[in-house]
Structure 1
Amino acid sequence: MTSAPPDQPQRLPWHIVDLFAGPGGLDLGAEVLGIPSIGIEWDDDAVATRLAAGLRTVHGDVRFFGPDHPDFKDCTVLAGGPPCQTFSIAGSGSGRKAFDLVTGFIHRMHAWYTREKAGMNGETWEDIQRELDKLEDERTGLVLQPLRWIFEAMLRPRHEENEPRPFDVIVLEQVPSVIEVWHEYEKVLKAVGYQTSAKVYHTEQYGVPQTRRRAVLVARHTEIPKDFLAATHHQYRKGVRAGEVVSGGREPWVSMAGALRDVYACVEEATPRTMPFCVVSNYGSGGDPKARGRRESDQPSATITGKWKRNRIVGLDARETEMERLSNEEAGVFQTFPYRYPWRGNDQAQQIGNAVPPWFGVHVLSAALDHGIPQDARGELLRWRSRAGEQGVPADTDTDTDTQA
């Protein structure tokens, strides 16, 4: 791991607990930054991938754990991407009802924390959890789990000077529609002493070869500047080609072809793809051929969803000759996973589509923790190999520990 320059200040001993950790995108970003992390994940397939990648993992349900669990008591950073509803949280109808329901629970949780801190009687977390358990869609309750962890950490008794403190930094991310939930989180987090920032970001503006929007909430005890998480690359504009991007102090966005060429330069065993090509997607088209999305290889990929295997790959000749569809390795590369990342288990396409792009994770964590990005971090990610099985690194075996805290 490349160390930070000697003129940089000494960093705090960050240690991340990643809730709903998935196959490991954020944890891989932490690894590139040299920050220890441990993820909680219940899905057997995602856990198999994480273990094959050598990532520290607790296999279980986030609801059965808390910050006092032995595996997490030394963690200073809370991160995670709780599952979102299948409908738009900001829309009308059922989406608006879900948002109103979540908002009510957020403020009830703040009231619970306030009473507990003051030693007063009233509604407890157990009372709230019983109501959440009765909800038709359990994901409504899961989006509240990070807030429970935050409040429980703040309520921990501190009998010794070296006892763990409340989380120093909080980093949460999800699809853009969850930004309204993050804004409600902001209200209660500010009320208990955190500085916050919640915004929707375009991942191609951080060197991810894909147009993907993510709602990110960061909270910490120190001030968050206005230029927090400043973009390093241009935003993609429909129809613009790689050679047409004007600099303006930022780098051009990364194209699919550019990302693959970087892989071929670093990974000898990578299988080169014939270029140029075009990705034709039915996503969001309703079956209408005229509405099919098209991205050529000198443009960023469209959002990699769990349905990316449906996309056709065609040549740019007049006949649009059919080419081999994307492999797991290539789809992972468009998410900025290393070509060698060991995808395991079933429904690997869904794992890839749901994951946090590791390189975006590098930028978010670096900004949130005021932690410099190592000079060769991108190259290190490209050249990455799993260390699973080495001394001190989890092996590719199941380590189920879903006991209650």
Structure 2
Amino acid sequence: MYQPSEEFSFDPEYPEGLTKVGIPCLTRAQVHAIRVYDFFSGCGGTSAGLQNAGMVPIVALDMDGEALETFRLNFPDAHAIKSDIRTVLTRDLEPYFERQRTVPILFSACAPCQPFSKQNRQKKEADARISLLTELTRFLERFRPELLFVENVPGLQEFSEDEDGPLHDLVTVLDRLGYWHTARVILAQDYGVPQNRRRLVLVASAFGPIDLPEQTHGPGRAPYRTVWDAIGHLPHLEAGESDTSVPNHYACKLSPLNLERIRAVGEGGGRLAWDERLQLDCHRTVKGYSDVYGRMSWGKPSPALTTRCISLSNGRFGHPEQDRAISIREAACIQTFPKDFIFVGTVNGMARQIGNAVPPDLATSIGKALIEHVDKYWSNTDG
């Protein structure tokens, strides 16, 4: 396990003679061992992807105890800290940094996105979670990471158009500290995730101008990955069953009526295929909510997974042909978690962990681009 320093004397005013970001001549091995500090880590989707790119997870900070248990299981060499970021002082994290920095560090942050989601209909001004991303700026100012990766729903950008929003606060601090940065809304399916998931991604660097990587999938590139690509290999399940040969391959039970409902729906279909007897009273007078009780399509990316992605009644989360909602493992596969990534906690807790996570394959694409970015800097200053 990475051992934190017993003492800490970090000085953001780097000694004379070092590079602009305070790191002496980097070796290629150091460039490819960027240390990751994962704020709002959840179960570790970002860390899994960045680790796959070649980075080293050091610290995870989150207040979700179940998610952190999953993180600890899958990242035994990292430090998982259960705490609300609003109660954490910058000095509390000092022991987890090198006394004299020799390797670049990256801060990642995927603050809870529900306050900025279109599905959240409560008054946003009353949601205390809105300030969480702004809390990150304290740690940026104190520790000056060389790299930053932020991921959230596109609504964060829309909510932050005024001068009081968390994205505006973050960008203001980045500008003041001299970071180069860029942000835009991307499609996760453009980066190999078999899911129609729109996300706002921001990257920042102390090294030089930076951009997001080019998409890897889509027209003229590799074909989009589909639901079949993600879960077509998994064993058959009935509703309420599990298959112990595959970790977390469990599908929730369905009532007799809901079994009738899913059996009345074909691949890619939804509740509009039901006869009158199967309709819900709450849907009789509205035209929306056509995705609920729906099935995914084998040949397309899935809809965006939510924290209730294993519930038939909460979206188009039905298996394309088996009469049930997708299993925990199937949801994890659609989010591109590795097959040996194990989830722990309650069934609903595991679904929440998966739905909240950054898809690891998306984080890998970002991570590889950031390593190339630092490698370019290294090659320009070496020798």
Same fold (TM over 0.5): yes
Provide the aligned C-alpha RMSD in A. 3.5
Is the 8 Å Cα contact of residues 263 and 339 (structure 1) preserved in structure 2?
A: no
Is the 8 Å Cα contact of residues 116 and 156 (structure 2) preserved in structure 1?
A: no
Shift in CA distance, 62/291, structure 1 to aligned 2, threshold 3 Å: closer
Q: Does 1:175 align with 2:179?
A: no
Equivalent position of 2:257 in the other structure: none
Is the 8 Å Cα contact of residues 268 and 320 (structure 2) preserved in structure 1?
A: no
Equivalent position of 2:267 in the other structure: 278
Is the 8 Å Cα contact of residues 171 and 368 (structure 1) preserved in structure 2?
A: no
Equivalent position of 1:79 in the other structure: 108
Aligned-pair distance for 1:314? 5.9
Aligned-pair distance for 1:300? 0.5
Equivalent position of 1:121 in the other structure: none
Equivalent position of 2:256 in the other structure: none
Alignment partners' CA distance in 1, 2:337 and 2:173 = 35
Alignment partners' CA distance in 1, 2:131 and 2:357 = 21
Is the 8 Å Cα contact of residues 169 and 369 (structure 1) preserved in structure 2?
A: no
Alignment partners' CA distance in 2, 1:258 and 1:309 = 19
Deviation by residue 1:278-317 (Cα, 9 ceiling, x = unmatched): 36668xx98457742353111111001012122353666x
Alignment partners' CA distance in 2, 1:92 and 1:289 = 18
Aligned length: 288
Deviation by residue 1:51-90 (Cα, 9 ceiling, x = unmatched): 222342122232314266244323721111122353559x
SS in 1 for 2:372: coil
Is the 8 Å Cα contact of residues 84 and 143 (structure 1) preserved in structure 2?
A: no
Equivalent position of 1:137 in the other structure: 127
Equivalent position of 1:354 in the other structure: 356
Identity percentage of aligned residues: 25
Alignment partners' CA distance in 2, 1:315 and 1:303 = 15
Is the 8 Å Cα contact of residues 195 and 335 (structure 2) preserved in structure 1?
A: yes
The correspondence of residues 3-14 of structure 1 with structure 2, limited to 5 A, is 11-12=30-31, 13-14=33-34
Equivalent position of 2:3 in the other structure: none
Alignment partners' CA distance in 2, 1:262 and 1:225 = 38
Equivalent position of 1:108 in the other structure: none
The correspondence of residues 315-326 of structure 1 with structure 2, limited to 5 A, is 323-326=323-326
The correspondence of residues 4-403 of structure 1 with structure 2, limited to 5 A, is 11-12=30-31, 13-37=33-57, 38-55=59-76, 56=78, 57-63=80-86, 64-66=88-90, 69-74=93-98, 76-87=105-116, 94-95=123-124, 98=125, 137-153=127-143, 166-179=144-157, 180=160, 181-225=166-210, 228-234=212-218, 247-248=219-220, 250-261=221-232, 269-270=245-246, 278=267, 287=283, 291-293=289-291, 295-311=296-312, 313=318, 323-346=323-346, 347-370=349-372
Is the 8 Å Cα contact of residues 281 and 310 (structure 1) preserved in structure 2?
A: no
TM-score (norm 2): 0.66
Aligned-pair distance for 1:187? 3.4
Instruction: Name the structure, 1 or 2, with higher relative contact order (CA <8 Å, separation 6+).
Output: 1
Deviation by residue 1:171-194 (Cα, 9 ceiling, x = unmatched): 111111112343552233123211
Shift in CA distance, 59/204, structure 1 to aligned 2, threshold 3 Å: same
Is the 8 Å Cα contact of residues 330 and 339 (structure 1) preserved in structure 2?
A: no
SS in 2 for 1:40: strand
SS in 2 for 1:28: helix
Shift in CA distance, 329/190, structure 1 to aligned 2, threshold 3 Å: same
Unaligned runs of 5+ in 2: 1-26, 99-103, 161-165, 236-243, 252-265, 272-279, 376-383
Alignment partners' CA distance in 2, 1:357 and 1:281 = 26
Aligned-pair distance for 1:201? 1.0
SS in 2 for 1:143: helix
